[in-house]
Structure 1
């Protein structure tokens, strides 16, 4: 990943926080006909290996898993992002020498994939994933709410995937390359957008 020094984020806790907040990772691997990519919700176990391990499952009908075992993969987690108009920059008023850009926070995790077909592992993974994402619901759904034969059939239709992380890269492009007045203008401008709050917060954190 292209990494200008001012955008590099190396704090492990910050990178893990983004992964947990934006768990739908893009799993990228090499297939027979070139790169293959699929969005998959991951769980992060930060104690399973030195750099953490990603846990997921995917449909057996998805051919990406075939030949995946032992192969190097990339998983991309996209955090907050936003278009930045130069009209927010003080520099526009001073010199006019400005252009639009895009701010974003992203984590790329690399490692080797392992494919798991053990039914009990899959059941535990599905339970853990469900518990994680149902936690905020008023009446959380549980896997056991579905009929046992139905759950068993669903488990036969998936395979597990783990990625023991060997390297993590974070890139927080949040206007650090702009003068302070421009950054303040970006944060204020993003405040005015319905979907801009998360990125406005990141810009202010890096002022």
Structure 2
């Protein structure tokens, strides 16, 4: 990923928090059939391995897990909001007219080595942790024990676990940091007026930093 210096985010705690807040990632692989992309929920354990470990699962019917070789390199892309930025939103445009349209966004790329984990205990653990995390905000959180045991066992047999040892992680927060503060603030306010909240809030936070 091309990352100009003013858009680079390299702080591990910030990148880890980004993944936790946006855990639905795109797994990019290159197997015998060529490039493939699968969209999956991930769990991050930043303390595991040298640089952290991602875990997820795929349907057994999905051929991707059979095409992967243990230790093979993969890429997982996590993204938050994105927004078109009009040059008309920059006060400096009215003064010099030297502005052009652009697109702001936030992404984190995780490179790692994958291991296929086709064992029930691992898969049950992955599903259990994902369930606890994402059911926590529900008034009555669903738990695995709510399902009949034979049904749950059948469903678990229908999926295969993936474990990715992180080798490199990089973030790109393109939030107009290469512009004047007045231009960033004005563009963020214009986004808010249109109902966009995620990118605009990040842009204003970047101004404060």
Q: Does the alignment reach a TM-score above 0.5?
A: yes
Distance in 2 (alpha carbons) for counterparts of 1:17 and 1:83 = 25
* TM-score (structure 1 length as normaliser): 0.97
User: Alpha-carbon deviations, 1:61-110, whole Å to 9, x = none?
Assistant: 11111131221000000012211111111122112222111111110000
**Cα distance per residue 1:16-52 (max 9 Å; x no partner):** 1110111011000102232110000000011111211
Matched, 1:106 2:103: no
Alignment coverage as a number of residue pairs:
206
Structure 2 residue 114 is the aligned partner of structure 1 residue 122: no
Which deviates more, 181-190 or 103-112? 181-190
- Work out the CA distance in 2 between the residues paired with 1:147 and 1:199: 43
Structure 2's unaligned 5+ residue stretches are: none
C-alpha displacement of 1:127: 0.7
Question: Which moves more between the two structures, 19-28 or 29-38?
Answer: 29-38
Q: Unmatched 5+ residue regions in structure 1? A: none
Q: Find runs of 4+ consecutive structure 1 residues off by over 2 angstroms.
A: none
| Match of residue 56 from structure 2 | 56
Which residue of 1 is the match for residue 75 of structure 2?
Answer: 74
Residue 87 in 1 paired to residue 96 in 2?
A: no
CA distance in 1, matches of 2:136, 2:183: 39
1:155-174 to 2 correspondences below 5 Å: 155-174=156-175
1:205 aligns with 2:205: yes
Paired position in structure 2 for 1:152: 153
